Copies of this chain bind each other. A is one copy, B any other.
Amino acid sequence: MAVGDASFPQMPAIPGVRLGTAMAGIKKANRRDLVVIQAPAGARIAGVFTRNAFCAAPVTVAREHLATEQEARYLVINTGNANAGTGDEGLRDAHATCAELARLTGVAAEAVMPFSTGVIGEPLPMERLLAGLPAALETLGEGSDSWHQAGEGILTTDTRPKGASVTLELGDATVTINGIAKGSGMIQPNMATMLGFVATDATLDQALLEELLRETADRSFNCITVDGDTSTNDACVLISTQRGPAVVGDEAIAIFRNGLQRVMTDLAQAIIRDGEGATKFVTLQVNGATTRQEALDVAFTVAHSPLVKTALYASDANWGRILAAVGRAPVTDFDVTKVTIDLGEIRLVEKGGRAPCYTEEAGSTVMAREEIPIRIDLGRGEQSATVWTTDLSHDYITINADYRS
């Protein structure tokens, strides 16, 4: 199941960013499961990574390599195996993967960043993985098809590849931002089982690149949740080839930030639309909070409630469950009589109870839709936050009870 439009967008080339894929048979035969992304010499790269204390070996190594003086030139991503919970052997395997790709391409091992996703706790099938690298390098290309195939090559339980692209006018010049992402379960704030690879031809200095990646990730990938589980492997990387127009000055930075946010949010929402077993795409907007964190706390409490999620699955406007979830959010001195809850255009709750004008019929009309907006106003302050989530369906259980992920 998945919600909404499944098409993969046309992606303009970003000169110097080349993507190649191979079928290495890491877990299953006959599927793209190995991706190499090449950045041109002189490119800058920023990354954000999982905050799970058990981070996977490739995350450790990617972080290390990103921190060296050596400029990053290659990303190598395998699906089918997360190389997580694999101890010292896992670190050796991640290093060996970088070393082999470095040998094949004539760069330093520290110029390669590794990424893995899939089953936790099993050793990487190194022989097959390494054997696949030459094939992935042979297919390196800049075109839209290369982006599409790379988008497919990083999937696990996803049902479709996820891509987003924007073209921005920066003065007289044009800037492109392309991105691909994967993820459909184990999705929650502070990165999901989520990999995102975004590239732009714009020229940005390293500090700005890192700041904009953090900022936009906080309002996209860190605002989605399928099931509250955080992966050991999450990462999102932003490559700037430094070949296009410079992003300098408040106006240019604002334009670029908006464009980047659009790509990041599109990718994050695509992950939710393809959430495991998802039949609904739910936008939870919390307003009237005293801090953004408070708004996020309420939004995630509702988004993680299995009772709210099963009611969404049933298209049942069971506002009592939403109210109960709001009521148990970690908010101090909570005056519930000031809370309002709206379902789409319908007022559900006010003054601590069902709104007088509410009818089951009106609620059911909204709940029958695939895309459901829920707006909660706490009546305490000026801050807000938006979180995107799915319902909880039989298919979620089937996928996660049957799939060793």
Measured CB to CB, the residues of A under 8 A from B are 51-55, 82, 84-87, 89-90, 119-121, 185-186, 188, 190, 227-232, 304-307, 310-311, 313-314, 316, 318-321, 323-329, 331, 334, 336, 349, 351-354, 392-394, 396-398, 400-402, 404-405
Contact = CB atoms under 8 A, between A and B. Distances in A.
A299 B186 CA distance: 18
A352 B121 CA distance: 10
Contact of A392 (B121, B320, B397, B404): B397
A137 to B, nearest CB: 30
A229 B328 contact: yes
B54 A323 contact: yes
What is the oligomeric copy number?
2
Given A307-B186, A307-B229, A397-B394, A85 B121 contact: no
B401 A232 contact: no
A67 to B, nearest CB: 20
A292 B190 CA distance: 25
A227 B306 contact: yes
A227 B393 contact: no
A306 B393 contact: no
B404 A393 contact: no
Given A51-B328, A53-B328, A336-B54, A227 B307 contact: yes
B311 A54 contact: no
28 contacts: A51-B328, A53-B331, A53-B336, A54-B327, A54-B352, A55-B327, A84-B320, A87-B352, A89-B353, A119-B320, A120-B323, A121-B319, A121-B323, A185-B307, A186-B307, A227-B306, A229-B307, A230-B324, A232-B320, A310-B397, A310-B401, A311-B400, A313-B397, A314-B402, A316-B401, A318-B404, A393-B397, A394-B398
The 7 A-B pairs with the shortest beta carbon distances in the complex, nearest first, are A120-B320, A54-B327, A87-B353, A310-B400, A314-B401, A53-B334, A227-B306
A353 B307 contact: no
Contacts of A353: 85-87, 89-90, 121
Q: Which of A119, A324, A329 has the largest count of B CB atoms less than 10 A from its CB? A: A324
Given A119-B320, A397-B394, A354 B85 contact: yes
A153 B353 CA distance: 27
Contacts of A351: 87
A363 B245 CA distance: 57
B229 A305 contact: yes
A400 B320 CA distance: 13
A395 to B, nearest CB: 9
Nearest to A395: B397
Nearest to A51: B328
Given A227-B306, A311-B401, A397-B394, A232 B318 contact: no
A54 B353 CA distance: 9
Given A319-B121, A354-B121, A324 B401 contact: no
A397 B392 CA distance: 8
Given A228-B306, A306-B396, 10 more contacts: A52-B324, A119-B320, A230-B324, A306-B400, A310-B396, A310-B400, A311-B401, A392-B397, A393-B397, A397-B397
